[in-house]
Structure 1
Amino acid sequence: MKRYLFLLTIIFTNAITFAQSYNGYRSSNYTGVNGVFFNPANIADSRYRWNVNLFGVNAGVANNTATFNLKTISSTLNSENLDSILLNGNKDKFSAAANIDILGPSFMFNATNRLSFALTTRFRTLVNAEDIDTKLIKSINDNTDDVAFPYSINSTNNQKIIGNGFADIGLSAAMVLHNSRQNFLKAGISVKYLGGVSNNFININNIQGTINEEALPPNDVFLTNANGRVALGHGGVDLENAKMKDILEFKSNGVGADIGFVYEYRPDYENKKEQYDNKYKLKVGLALLDLGAIKYVKSPDQYNADYTVSVPAQSKLYLKDFEDKDYEEIKKYMDNSPFFTNNSTNNNSYSVSLPTILQGNIDYNIADNFYADLSGQFSMTKKTGNTNSYYPTSVTLTPRYDGKIFGVYLPLNYNSLSSFNAGLGLRAGPLYMGSGSIINTLVSNSKQADFYIGLHVGILHKPKRIVEPQIELPPTPVDTVIIPTIVDSDNDGINDDQDKCPFVPGTEKYNGCPVPDTDNDGINDDDDKCPTVQGLAKYNGCPVPDSDNDGINDEEDRCPLVAGIRANFGCPEIKEEIIKKVNYAASHLLFATGKSKILPASYPSLNVLAAILETDKTLKLNIDGHTDNVGKPDMNQLLSEARANAAKEYLVKKGIEAERIITTGYGDTNPVADNKTKAGKTKNRRIEMKVSN
C-alpha cells in the first residue's frame, strides 16, 4: 500500500504543522487582523487603526512515537525515513496530527472607536492518524523482519487516517458591548465561505483475526479467520495530479462561523484613556472557532465506501495485494474480492465538519509590557466520524514581552499527542516568526517540530496632540493681564469650565458627560426604551418579552404565542388521552419477521396517530426502535433503525412533516426484559414513541 495511504501528509505537502498555530504570537496584543483567527472579538478596540496581513505560513509535524532534534530534523522529516521511524518505535500503535496553515492577504480597520471590520483569507490542510497498528502496516508494506508470526489482531479501536484541505474567505465584525471604565466587554463574529479542496480517509474498525506467513519462500503474509469493517473515501480534487485552477474552483463548498468574547478588567483606567494604550490588568477570552461543514458532491472520480470484512478460517487474504496501491485501486480490489461486502449507500453527497474547537485564555499584565497568558483549546469535533479532521486538545502558558514595535514570546505547551513542548517567538515591526517547539529540538529530542513566519503592516493609534493655547500680546506696551484661551481637554466641544466631565468626551445634553446608562445594561439611556430596567440590545434595552403572558419569556418558550406551562417548556400540557393513543400505536406496531415492513394490522392505530399530529402542528414525535439479542449486534442495530424509519415514512405519507419526527435505533442495547426467555425477547422487540412540543 502506498505510503501516503497511511501517512496522508504526502498527499497534501511535506510541510505540515500541529495543534495550535502561531504559538506565542497568537497571545500578542499586536496581531492586528490576524487576531481575528484566534478570537473574532480581538479586532474591536484594536491597537491598530488599520492593518494588512501580507502572508503567514505555519509548518511542522508531531506524533507520539518519532523523536528528533535540530541536527536530525531534516532527515527525520524526509518521507523515506519518517514512516520507518513511526513503524519501528517502541509502541504497538502510533498516532499523529498535522496541518498547514496559510494566512492569506487580509485587512481590518476601525470604523469607529467601538466597531471594527475585517476581510480575511486562509488555507489549511489537516491530517489525523489515530491508533494505527504498526504490525498491520508492516505486514502490508512487507516489512516484517521483527514481527513474530502468527500475530493475533484483536483491535476494538477505530484506526483511521483522515486528510482534509480547504480554504475560507471570511467577513468579521466586532464591537464593544460594555465599557464602564474598569469593566470592559467586547464581542465578535466571523462568517466564512468555505471552499473544499480535498477529503481523503481510510478507517479500519474493530478488526479481529490472525496474521500469519507462508512456510515456504517468499513467505507471503496473509490474514485469516478475520472480521471487521473498513471504510475509505475520496472527495474533491486529486492533489497529486491537480493544477492550480482545479484547486481554486472550489466545487465543494459550505458556510462556517467563529464567535468570541473578551472581558478586560481595567483598574488603572484613569491613567490609560488613549486608544493606543493596553489598559487591562486581566483579560479573559472565550471563542468557539470553526463551526460549519463542507458538502462534497460525488462525481465519477469520487467515492465513499464502507465494507464488511469476513475472511473464513480456511481462507487467506494476502496483504501484499494492497502494497503499492492507491485509493482507487484498493477500492476496485475490495469490490471484486469475496472477503469484502460493500455496505455503501447511494447518497449523492456527504458532509465534512470543520475542526471545531472551544478556546479560552486568561492574560495577566505583570508590569508595563510584560504579560503571562494561559490558554487552552478543546476539540468539539466528534471523533467517531470517518471524514472529520480535528485539532488535539492542548494547554499553553506564554510569558512574553509585548511592546508596540517589538515582542518576545516563550510558549510552554502541553498537548494530548506530543506532550510537553517549549518554543520561542519574535515580533519585530512587520515581521513575526517563531516555533512552538524550538527549545525542545535544541536541547533534547522532541516529538514535535514546527515553525512559522509572516509579514503584516498597519498604522497604530497615536496619542492625541495637545495644542497649547496661543497668547496674544497687546499692540501697545501697557501693563495688562494676559488671559489664555479657554481649554477643552476632551475635545468634545464643551469648554472645561462648563464641562462636568472635562476629561471624558460627552454631549451638551448631559453637561459634557457621556450619555448615562441608568440601569447598567450596557445600553445608554438615549437608545434604551426601558432606561430604568435592565434589558438586551436586541429588545432596545428592554427585558426579553413574554408574548403569551404565561410567565415564561419568549427565548425560553417553545410555544411563545400560546400560553403553556414551564414543565412543558412553555407549551400547553399534552393531554393524557393523546399520550395513551401514542403508546397504543407504538405497542400495536407490527412488522414482518426480521424485516422493517409494517403489517396491515398496524395501519388503524398509525392512522389515529397521524390524525393527532395533523390536528396539533406543535406536536413532535420521537420514534425509538429496539430488538432482542438474536443475531449480530450490527445487524440488530440496522434493523432497529430501519423499523423506526419505516414508521416515520408511513406518517410522512399521511401528510406529517418529516422534520417533526426524530427516529433512533438502539439495536439490542436497551432490553426491558430477560432475553433468555421467549417472552422476554418478544417484549424487547418493540417500538417506543414519545410525543412532545
Structure 2
Amino acid sequence: MKKLIVPFFILSCVCTFAQEHFSGIGTSKRIGILNANFNPAELANLNSKMEVNLFATSINISNNKIGVSDITGDEDFEDLLFKGDEPVNLRFDVEIAGPGFAFKYKKMGFAITSKAYGKLNLVDIDANIGDAIANNGLNSLVNFTTLNGNYNQRLVGTTYGELGFSAARSLWETDKYKLNGGATFKLLFPGSYANFGADQFQGTITNVGGDSFLTNANASVNVAYSGSLGSSFSDFDGYSDSVFGSLNGFAVDFGGTFTIKDEKNGYKLNSGISVRNIGGMTFKDENNSSTNYNLVIQGNQSLNLSQFENVDSLQEVEQILVDSGFLTSTSSSEDFKVKLPTVLNAYADMQVIPTLYVSVFLQQKLTDDAKNDQITAQNVVTLTPRFSLKHFEVFAPLSQTEIAGFNAGIGFRVYGFFIGSGSAFTALINDSKQADFYFGYRFGMGKS
C-alpha cells in the first residue's frame, strides 16, 4: 500500500507550477468572478460592466506532520509522515478555474464559469498502521502495537468538473448602503473517485522477522472506486484525463452581501455570508464498485501487512483482503453518490484609510470528513491587510487552518494578473506544514 501513499506527495511536487484557495485575492477590492466564487451575491458589485476570466489555478498542500525543512533532510517521506502516535492528516487540493464570463445589467449581475477539481487526502490515518505498511514498523519502539481507533480512517481521492450559472441582484440600495442576494447553480461532471475507509479499527500489530502482522482485528471497511483512481494512484496522466466525466450531479451556492459605500473609494465596508456546495454527484464507470465489509481476524489468524507495500490500486487492496478470507461483504452497489464539501463562508473587508484595507474571512465546513461518501474540506480563518490602488494591490494573508495551523503569505495584483501564496512567509522563516500557490489572469471591460 506504500504506492497508495507516496503519489500524494509526488503528485503535489509535479503540479506545483500551480484550503482556502486564492487566499487574500478572493476578498480583493477589485470585485469580479473570483469574489463571486466565494459569494455569488458579489456579482451585483462588479467593478466592470463585463469581466472575462481567462484562467486561474490554485494548489494547496497541507499536513500535520511534515514541515517544509523536513523535505530537504535525509529521512524518507514515509518515516516522517508516520512518526509518533498522532493520526496523519494530509490534504492535496487543486482548483483550476477555466474560461468564465460575467456582466452587469442595471441592478443585476450574471456569470458563467467553468472549473476543474482534484483532491487527494489522508484523513485521520493511524500512524502505527501507516508505519507497519510503509516501513515494516521501523518507527515502532516495541515489537507490538495495540490499535484502538474510534474514528473512520480514510484514503480518498476525487476529480470532477463543474459548470456554474450565477445571478445576483441588488435588493436594497441607498446613497450609503447596499444589500445584495445571489445564487449559483452548478452542473457537475464526476471524473474519478477512490475511497478506502476503515472505521472503528481495533487490533494488534506485531513485528516479526522484519515483517508486520495484524492480529485480533475488527473494523468496518468501505472500498469504493470509479474511473482511473480505482485502477492506479500513480498513473498521473489519468488524473488530468478523468477530470470531466459525463453530467451526473447538481449543486447550489447561496449568498448575500452588505456594503457601506464610499463615494470616492468604492466602499468603507464590504461584507458577506454564503453557503456553498450544497449537493453531490453520482459516479458511473465500467469499473465502478462500492462495497462495505466487516474485517474480522481472530485467534491465531494474522494478516501480513507487507503484502500491501507495493500495491498500486484500491482494486488490488480489495482483492488481497478478500483472498485472505478476513472480509465479509455486508452491502455492495455499482453506482454511488458522493457529497460535495458544503461550507459556510463569512467575511468583512473594511477600509482603514483610502488605500489600506483589512479583511477577515471564515470558512466553516458543514459536513463530516469521516463519512465515506464525503469530499473533504478544511476550517479556515484568514486576516488579510491589503494596500490597494485601482490597478495594483499587495496583500499579506495570515491564516489559521485546521490541518497545518498558522501560515503567513503574500500576494500581488497588477491590473488583471494576480499571483500569491498563503504560506510563502512561514515556509521561508519557520517549519511550515503547508505549501500553496496560485496565479491567474482576468480582465474587465467598461466602467460599472
Mapping of residues 341-490 of structure 1, within 5 Å:
341-345=328-332, 347-459=333-445, 461=447
Aligned match of 1:139: 132
Q: Deviations over 1:150-201 (max 9, x none)?
A: 2111221211122121110111111111102222101111111111111111
Structure 1 pair 59–35 and aligned structure 2 pair: CA distance change class (3 A) = same
Gaps of 5+ in 1: 463-693
Opposite residue 129 of structure 1, the aligned amino acid is L
Contact 1:335 1:342 in 2 (8 A): no
Q: 3-state SS of the aligned residue for 2:242? A: helix
In structure 2, relative to structure 1, the CA distance for the partners of 1:249 and 1:186 (3 Å cut) is closer
Q: CA deviation at 1:84?
A: 3.4
The answer to whether the Cα contact below 8 Å between 1:58 and 1:101 also exists between their aligned partners in 2 is yes
Question: Are the structure 2 counterparts of residues 319 and 306 from structure 1 closer, same or farther at C-alpha, using a change threshold of 3 Å?
Answer: same
SS in 2 for 1:44: helix
Report the equivalent of 1:196.
190
Name the structure 2 match of 1:262: 257
CA distance in 2, matches of 1:82, 1:138: 11
**Corresponding residue number in structure 1 for 2:272:** 285
1:22 alignment partner in structure 2: 22
What are the within-5 Å matches in structure 2 for residues 81-96 of structure 1?
Answer: 81-88=76-83, 90-96=84-90
Letter in 2 for 1:314: N
Aligned-partner residue type, residue 85 of structure 1: L
Shift of 1:33: 2.0
Alignment-mate amino acid for residue 429 of structure 1: Y
Does structure 1 retain, via aligned residues, the 8 Å contact 2:79–2:135? no
Give the TM-score normalised by structure 2: 0.92
Q: 243, 246, 263: which one pairs with 1:251? A: 246
Q: CA deviation at 1:283?
A: 2.2
SS at match of 1:344: strand
Asked if structure 1 preserves the Cα contact closer than 8 Å seen for 2:50 and 2:101, the reply is yes
1:335 maps to what in 2? 322
Instruction: Determine if the alignment matches structure 1 residue 124 to structure 2 residue 117.
Output: yes
Q: Does 1:232 align with 2:223?
A: yes
Task: Report the AA paired with residue 89 of structure 2.
Answer: S
| Larger relative contact order (CA 8 Å, sep ≥ 6) | 2
Tell me the residue number matched to 1:106. 100
Q: Distance in 1 between matches of 2:187 and 2:40?
A: 16
Distance, in Å, in 1 between the alignment partners of 2:155 and 2:227 is: 17
1:526-541 → structure 2 map (5 Å cutoff): none
Alpha carbons 2:31, 2:47 under 8 Å: kept:
no
**Aligned partners of 2:39 and 2:273 also within 8 Å:** yes
* Alignment correspondent of 2:201: 207
Separation (CA, whole Å) in 1 of partners of 2:240 and 2:396: 40
**What residue in structure 2 maps to residue 156 of structure 1?**
150
Contact 1:252 1:296 in 2 (8 A): no
Distance 1:411 1:11, change over 3 A: closer
Report the Cα distance in structure 1 between the residues aligned to 2:17 and 2:426, rounded to whole angstroms. Answer: 16
Name the CA distance, whole Å, in 1 between partners of 2:173 and 2:411.
Answer: 32
What's the counterpart of residue 295 of structure 1?
Answer: 282
- Correspondence for 2:306: 320
**CA distance in structure 1 between the aligned counterparts of 2:238 and 2:23, rounded to whole angstroms:** 32
Normalising by structure 1, report the TM-score. 0.60
Q: Distance in 2 between the 1:154 and 1:17 partners?
A: 40
The number of residues matched between the two structures is 442
- Contact residue 424 and residue 436 of structure 1 kept, 8 A: yes
Give the CA RMSD over aligned residues. Answer: 2.5
Deviations 1:533-585 (A, max 9, x none): xxxxxxxxxxxxxxxxxxxxxxxxxxxxxxxxxxxxxxxxxxxxxxxxxxxxx
Q: How does 1:504-515 map to 2 (within 5 A)?
A: none
Deviations 1:247-306 (A, max 9, x none): 36613620111111100123x5xxx2xxxx54322222001111110111353x121122
- Identify unmatched segments of 5+ residues in structure 2: none
Tell me which moved more, 420-429 or 222-231: 222-231
Greater Rg, structure 1 or structure 2? 1
- Post-superposition CA distance 1:436-458 (Å, at most 9, x none): 01110121110111111111112
